[in-house]
Amino acid sequence: MNCSKRTNQSVLHQGEVRADSIGYMPGLDGLRALAVFAVIAYHLNLTWAPGGLLGVSLFFVLSGYLITNILLKQWEHSGSINLKDFWLRRARRLLPALFVMLAGVMTWVMLCAPERMAALKQEVLAAVSYTSNWYLILHHVSYFERFGPPSPLGHLWSLAVEEQFYLFWPLLLGLGLRCLPQRKWVIGGTVAIALTSVAAMALIYMPGHDPSRVYYGTDTRAFALLVGAVLAMVWPSGQMSADLSGKKRLALDTAGSMGLLVVFLMIGKTNQYQTSLYQGGLLLYSVAAACVVAALAHPASYLGRLFGWAPLRWLGECSYGIYLWHYPVIVLTSPVVNTAGPDLSRTLWQIAVSIILAALSRYLIEEPIRYGRRKRFRRRTWDLQWWRRPLALSAKISVSILLTFLLLFVTANKDTQISAKDLAESHVTKNQAQVTDKKNIAANREHIGADKKSDIKGDEITAIGDSLMIDVEPVLQKHLPGIVIDAEIGRQMYQATEVISRLQKEGKLGKIVIIELGTNGSFTEKQLMKTLDSLKGTGKIVLVNTRVPKPWETAVNETLTKVMKSYPNTKLIDWYSASSGHDDYFYPDGVHLNQTGAEAYGKIMTEALISHRNDEQ
């Protein structure tokens, strides 16, 4: 039996459920709305939802459940899985809206930021082939690319993971159902594969390093989808009845509520650089999400009725379009350099525009292609003028593909593209040249009094840092002659102990040590403590927090603040607060310091050192 209406049940981000569908579960649409708005909150950098990225895991569990439920129903009715029909329905559901979004983003970039077009073409190819997650893994290997403008297509990695699941899971499930005589062995095999995925995440992940490999990898994220698949095997929708006793109904809603509590707590308390997340935390979250899905899928659940509230359900039905559009809208309408913090009015209209575009996508693109409009025409199409005849599905998809690839290959902008590497290198080089120009320094620097300069000697100080320290090195050398500065582009906290050991052997470690690291990525409390412990015997340790328009900014600053409280000889320089409202300190990447910024940074650091010396005296 073909999938027909059953294949039209809702899947990840897709809003596929219709009220007249067989087995419609309205509560799951409400859950989809919760998931997509958690992701939006994360991408808007709202402080109350640092774990909003977990909305994607919620989608994964839901997707695994619904897809497996569809496939199992098909197997029970026909003894086989119609792969061709399944894959064609996925393509018809997902591709048209995706192509329209890609065409819209490329048109905007072509008109407003043509220098980004060449890089965007590669990302579009990855999006169309549903390999965005692996493209991002390779993309983030480069230090310089990390500080280029954020990509408006960076969110498509989750759709790539889904599509890869849609491609391979029906094959694997069909093989298991055919070869294993009992369903329990299929369930056991699925659990084994899921645990293998969990183990791969834990083994590949390196605390304090960039988690992109395990965060984006299909192999390391598959377990969330498979948790949903296991739920479909043990909790199939076809066997649920609204006639449930009071105690069982209470137990069902209690389990769902407890799972929902875990979901909310983890969204509000975790972040993507938290070690525990990759060492079992995401599995815990997926199991909690499965409990929520199980409750909302059951027709007797009161929790399901709550999540089936009409406005919430409508947002869930539009969630695929909202997911597609929200990130391009946020990225393309937000300033790269923004030291003033969130703008409430901008945030609200970004959300509103995302919902409007999603609604237009649903009613003008997605539903007409999925369901067709031929039924509205009672006359034969040949009786109509040619321009009034409805386009065939193949024609609509072909036009969408043609539009995308015309924009992809006809609009060449290679000569005008500026790479992130060139931008970063030019920042460092230009900054050094400007700051070392004594005339410019004399004209722009606020002098520190000669009486204060004598209070501290540069040859007592060692500074260890990354590219920001390179930016500010000439200023520090001017204010604090003799200071030892060891800075390197791309350096991270886990490398600090080796640097400290080398400087100790070379006799270059001063009585005061400045640590400026965190621009290039997060680090764990243990890594910071290891660095501080390696400086035992040092008179004073000065930590500098960070301002960088990347997700790890908050994690870095919170870790510094928390750990330093356990080390009495440690002082924190709050560069994040000092640079607030000073967009003029930064180059267009929002990370590297121009001359004004380097002067301000050096002045703040020097005054902090002098203040400490005066306090001691």
Express each pLDDT in 235-259 by its tens digit: 998 788 788 888 999 999 999 999 9
The span from the CA of 124 to the CA of 12, in Å, is 21
Reported as a single tens digit per residue, the pLDDT across 374-407 is 444 444 544 545 444 555 555 655 555 555 555 5
Report the alpha-carbon distance of residue 494 to residue 411 in Å, rounded: 43
**Shortest CA distance to 589 belongs to which of 553, 538, 548, 536?**
548
pLDDT at 419 over 60: no
**In this model, does residue 1 exceed pLDDT 60?**
no
Q: Which CATH superfamily is domain 421-616 in?
A: SGNH hydrolase (3.40.50.1110)
**What would the pLDDT profile of 70-81 be if each residue is shown by its tens digit?**
999 999 888 889
Question: What does the pLDDT read at residue 127?
Answer: 95
Reduce the secondary structure of 391-454 to three states and give it as a string.
CCHHHHHHHHHHHHHHHHHHCCCHHHCCCHHHHHHHHHHHHHHHHCCHHHHHHHCCCCCHHHHC
Least confident of 193-207, 300-314, 400-414: 400-414
Termini Cα distance of the chain: 86
In the chain, the percentage of residues whose pLDDT exceeds 90 is 63
3-state secondary structure at position 579: coil
The CA distance from 535 to 513, in Å, is 8
pLDDT bucket at 146, cuts 50 / 70 / 90: low
Contact 468, 520 (CB under 8 A): no
pLDDT of 342 reads 82
Residues contacting 33, CB < 8 A, separation 6+: 312, 313, 315, 316, 319
Q: Cα separations (Å) of 553 from 70, 472, 521, 548, 608?
A: 42, 20, 8, 6, 22
pTM: 0.84
In this structure, of 166-180, 327-341, 411-425, 494-508, the range with the lowest mean pLDDT score is 411-425
pLDDT digits (tens, 9 = 90+) for 461-473: 999 999 999 999 9
How far apart are alpha carbons 220 and 201 in whole angstroms? 5
Note the pLDDT of residue 270: 93
Q: What is the pLDDT of residue 394?
A: 55
The predicted pLDDT at position 526 comes to: 94
- Residue range(s) in the chain whose domain bears CATH number 3.40.50.1110: 421-616
Structure tokens at 63: 């997707």
Catalytic residues: 467, 589, 592
